[in-house]
Amino acid sequence: MTRKLRKLFQRRSSLHEIDPDEIFLDSHNIPQFDTDQFEGRIDRPISRMSLIMTLLAFALILCVYLSRVWDLQVVKGADFNQKSENNRLRHSPIFAARGVIYDRNNVELGWNAPGDDADVSLRKYKNIPGLAHVLGYVRYPSKDSSGFYYREDFEGVDGVEKYFNDKLRGTNGLKLIEVDAHGKVQSENGIQAPKEGENIALSIDSRVQSELHAAIKHIAESVGFNGGGGIIMDVHTGEVIAMTSYPEFDPQIMSDRADKTLITKYLTDKNTPFLDRVIDGLYTPGSIVKPYVALGALKENIIDPNTNILGTAYISIKNQYDPTQETLFRDWKAQGLVDMRKAIAVSSDVYFYEIGGGYKDQKGLGIAKLDHYFQLFGFGEQIKDSFFTGGSGFIPTPELKAKQFNGESWRLGDTYHTAIGQYSFQVTPIQMVRAVASIANNGALLNPTILKDQQGSVERQLDIPASDFEVIREGMRKGALEGTGVSLNVPYVHMATKSGTAELGVTKENVNSWMTGFFPYENPRYAFAVVLERGSRHNLIGAGAAMRETIDWMSKNTPEYFK
């Protein structure tokens, strides 16, 4: 029994726990192990070096982090604190009140009114026609979706609003607005007060201007002209009393930008309502240049003003390429014998062909002299650095013709046409009115002004005898009494006039209609120029009718202009 127990104990004691190393001791002898995948290998504990390298890596990362925290909070902390304060305290402009625009009688033409946005006032304009191109319009300050203003000033666009923008806009102030994290305003504090813009008093009489516009519009729409413009100017000071262009835009619509349909209509209108026809409109003048040809002829002793020329229906000259052929230069009417005064009054083309280019025994100025005198009176040049700076126009010259027509030579017929304001001649109404004013004031070519009680400067005093100007004035008075300006022969003021009908294009079926002149004749105070553009040559009424409607109204409502 004892022997059996001993054997059993020995068997159990031999079943002791086996060390894993003993199992894998000869594992390299076991075939088909993928040792790259750790099959058949004995696991080893992590080495001390690996632990050290890991700790160093973590330490390095910690150092970088701590250095960044030091930079942000210690080195740059003050800067970031200031930026944070600025985000919390916004700078916002306090908009200066824009200056008010008045006419010469202190009627408000452009002023400010409260708007939906409490920060920005609205610009309001006198609701009468005819002021658009003088006043212009504005663009308002603009802000983004976050409430920040990216355009902090009113911006004048066109007209007085643009030209005098620096005076009208003033200087904005500044306020600090405290906001919370959600951008909600908590408080406001002003730190710089705004300075209001300057008020401006214009030389314009809004009553006369509105009536002149209404008359031009009425005639243009009645008989089919595309548009027109007119201007009245003081012949001594250069103050512009009225200056209007038809068609025009609505300054209120353009400032408010609310009626997109109407704005699109303005932009696509073939009659160009944004064109200021007085300053930028270029028109063939026709016969309204004849007084300046006459002055050149007097100054150069080409002809005595009392000498008669037979105004036939046409004159003819030999064709330089075929002497058997003649070229005819027609008059609009056979005038009979005319001296200089009558030639101006009845607008004789033949008379001005002859004194302009010469014919048979009558000496002519020639194109060089014609060009010289036209330039003296301001044609072909801009009015520099002025509210009235616009188109310069063109005076026909041999050089201009050669440039435009591949070197084509100048002919006598070109001189004839230039002498009666045809060919490629182009002028603006503002050029015409100051040329007429220089006839009325004995040769002072004025720079006009749009401001009340401001004397326009004299660009040049023309070296032409006063007696020569008197001859021209007498001819223009005769024109109102019995000539082409007879529509302005009115009882309440003595007018002096020169009309023009400028033929357009090859067919000459369309014309520009002009009426220029001054009043009162005995003591000139105001010059005027009115043009109606591109109507049928068969129209029996034109610019003269528009001016007649205007002065009829003035005689009843503003008679002070005729005294």
- The pLDDT score that the predictor gives to residue 352 is 96
| pLDDT on residue 9 | 47
Provide φ and ψ at 175, rounded to 5°.
-135, 155
Model confidence at 429: pLDDT above 80: yes
**Residue 16 and residue 305: Cα distance in Å, rounded?**
152
pLDDT beyond 80 at 516: yes
Q: Which of 37-51, 184-198, 304-318, 342-356 has the highest mean pLDDT?
A: 342-356
CA separation for the pair 48, 57 (Å, rounded):
15
What's the chain's average pLDDT? 86
* Stronger pLDDT, 469 or 328, i.e. the higher one: 469
> What pLDDT score does 235 carry?
97
Radius of gyration of the chain (CA): 44
Of 424, 374, 383, the C-alpha closest to 402 is: 424
Report the distance separating Cα 40 and Cα 14, nearest Å: 27
Which amino acid, residue 446?
A: L
Lowest-confidence range among 78-87, 200-209, 516-525? 78-87
What domains sit in the chain, N to C, each tagged with a CATH number? 90-201 (3.90.1310.10), 206-562 (3.40.710.10)
Nearest in space to 488 (alpha carbons), one of 523, 534, 526, 519: 519
Confidence (pLDDT) at 302: 96
Which residues have CB under 8 Å from 475's CB, separation 6+? 291, 294, 340, 341, 342, 343, 344, 345
Where do the H-state alpha helices sit in 328-428?
Answer: 340-346, 349-357, 366-376, 398-404, 412-419
Whether the CB-CB separation of 219 and 546 falls below 8 Å is answered with yes
> In the predicted model, is pLDDT for residue 443 greater than 90?
yes
pTM of the model: 0.81
What are the start-end ranges of the E strands in 77-218? 89-94, 101-102, 108-113, 122-125, 137-139, 142-143, 149-151, 155-157, 173-179, 185-192, 200-201
pLDDT of 25 strictly over 50: no
Given this model, what pLDDT does residue 31 score?
A: 53
* CB contact at 8 A, 419 and 367: no
- Rounded CA-CA distance 428/172 in Å is 39
User: ∠ CA 385-390-393 to the nearest 5 degrees?
Assistant: 120
pLDDT tens digit sequence for 195-215: 999 999 999 999 999 999 999
Secondary structure of residue 510 in the 3-state scheme: strand
- Is 70 exceeded by the pLDDT of residue 165? yes
CA 524 to chain centre: 32
pLDDT tens, residue by residue, 481-496: 999 999 999 999 999 9
Identify the helix (H) or strand (E) that includes residue 241: strand 240-246
**3-state SS string for 244-263:** EEECCCCHHHHHHCCCHHHH
Least-confidence region, from 115-124, 279-288, 409-418:
115-124
